[in-house]
Structure 1
Amino acid sequence: MIYRKSRKRLPQGERTAGVLVLDGRTGWVAGMHWTQSGATDLLTRLRLNDTHWVTSGKGTGKVTGLVSPEKTRRGVKLYSLASVFQSAIGGSSHGLYRLDEDNNKWVFLATVRDELTVMADVTGTLQEVCTARNHFLTFNDPGEEGWSCVADHQQNISWKMLVEGLSAQTMARARLNEVSLRRPLTVIAIVAALVATGLWIQNESSQAARDAAIEASRKVVNVIKPEEAVQPEKLPGPWVTRFTVPVFLKACWATRSESRMSIVGWRVSVGECDEQQQGLRLHYEAAQGSTIENFDRRVVQLYGHPATFDFVDGGKNGNVFIHFGLPDANSLQDEPLRPANERLKSFISHMQRKNVPVQLSEVKQPEALPGTKSEQPKTDWQEYTFTLSTGLMPELLLEGMDARGVRLSSISYTVSPQGLYNYTLRGSLYAKK
């Protein structure tokens, strides 16, 4: 058995991380990026720049997995471990499987009522997959049958046990398809070349036929270059790669509503939902008579991983980070932007109705130095950053707001000893110039 790790997960629009384990001429892939049905048509897969895909489920439960495994030997067939789990196990089940002999790499697989979920198929260390499992169990309902744990880390079950004795039908459903336009483009190129040759032979004495053949050959050369054919005319704006406001609000609320305000005498004083880190950071302060050991032990029980401490200050402060659940297919959008004047008036008016002051800053494009040529591409959009401070919950503050071109980078809050909250929202407005 050969174990390979694919390229590291890159931002949206580049590559999807995955782990590839090889057994002879068969490759099994874990850690695919799964999205709901309808979000991954061919053009979307090309924009994501992934190389392989597979679908699972039917109707509203249909999901598509994307991945870019490393190059393998010719003739190696690739299959999805998550798809195998869905076919062979199914139900409302979950399991942790060991991917290597050193117990350094694991995968968390799960189904909910016989359907794959975008929160499963997570690879990483044992601690990371245990955290993913805890999040999954928190945000999913198994139905009347309840959860079935088919593989726990204490059992130390290898991924090989999952793929033993699979039927041909199960293997066919789990087979990865390659994302490529080269095959149809090559067929078009060959047909065009044959037509050009026929024109030349049939009308050898005709200058018009010669010109037609030359023109057809030129088109063949252009068609054989799929990379150039699918290039967009302009670079997408940064809002395309950022979570929409409803998605970020939902993820932040779902995570902080499940968090504990007090743990064995330690109380939350500051919290922050961070877009880049995709999680909630909580700052706890120790109460008199409480200890670091008790707090840390309870944090591991609740969140699946230990807290971090500032020992220099005497261990009076502890920090806990909780990852959001994996985003769904509608997390990213490229909505049309409003003109800057309309966008700013609408946003500021909404905040004025809520009696919340707004601080705006225009993001300037860097100017080229004298005597040098600027490499910054010209854009038809403008970015403004904003900061809002309020006692209103973010969900109430932004309710009814036109969120087109609005993106949140963070929602932070402080909690007074009396339990009063104060929120600070930071983000960006994108508008047409």
Structure 2
Amino acid sequence: MLALSEAPAVGSETSTPWTNAQATPLVEIRSVSKQYGDFTAIGDLSLKIYPGEFFALLGPSGCGKSTLLRMLAGFETPTAGEILLNGEDMVPMPPEKRPVNMMFQSYALFPHLTLEQNIAFGLKRMKLPKGEIDSRVEEMLQLVQMTTQAKRKPHQISGGQRQRIALARSLARRPKMLLLDEPMGALDKKLRRETQLELMDIQHRLGTTFVIVTHDQEEAMTVASRIAIMDHGKLMQVAPPIDTYETPASRYVAEFVGDTNIFTGSVTAAGSSALDFTLEVSGQSLNALPQPGIAAPDARYLNVRPEKMAVSKDRVDDGSNYLRGRIDEVAYLGNLSTYYVDVGLDQRVLVQMTNSQRFGSERFAEDDNVWVSWYPQDGQLLDR
């Protein structure tokens, strides 16, 4: 582990090595499969994780993300394929020999030991000199801002503080990669958000590679430099959070990450700068822009995020797409209002509008007849 003052400048160009074809990955997973009898948990999966990344494995329960994490830790053995760390094959290496540590959701702190003794436990098993153990324990306590509670035991501190100590213990052995298995699942929403920011700050300062497993889309979007979205043991998309949200690779990814509206149809007319997308149910034509990497005839879906849309009582011909509808439900959430609008299709349209003014903003109620609109550039065509 580098001293904090020597940590690499995460956030500079070195924090996006996946954009550099010459960059060397810390971890390279090559055509890995994991089977349990006839069940395939991971199927022919390949992935690169680079030094200094905060990498998230995201997906629903049973998608294979925890199995992949356990294979990185050495608790599971691939049925086929290779897992390389710094070019060295880790598959035959037992967990205790790997330069990797894992932090579990339960934290697994020893209740009879003090916090500093919990941090020192793994270091003693490494048979390090007492002076070095004491130095590392103090460094870790300072890192997680728990120096004044060092003599307490786990039951004497809060859940968020126990999470910090578990993190400190995991980092004390100076692993090249830290694996986190749903580390914030036991925390309430407010504490989880605070802990996410603390975790990002610690990872930023240390520059250690973090790999986190989560089913919480918001958590992955908050902490990760890149997100690997999984389904049925396969990678659906690997990209930074902004690309995952704004340019999902498929309907599955678009619907899994955040709220969205998916319209089914086909491109009926193509131009150099605009396309006509005809809705399957109503036959109405919408304007869309060509999508890089997707041939116009293959476009089957139009993806529009709810915050890109607006609700109005009047239609203004400003080049927007418009759908006529009636408001079914309204949810006032303080900072924004959510409208569910029946536009005569086989689905309701979800629209989210910011309440930017305390008074004076246009209000809508159930059963109001309205127009739903969005600019063509705010829709994304998908072919799968």
Normalising by structure 1, we get a TM-score of 0.23
Q: Which has more strand, going by share of residues?
A: 2
Structure label with greater radius of gyration: 1
Normalising by structure 2, we get a TM-score of 0.26
Higher relative contact order (CA 8 A, sep 6+): 2
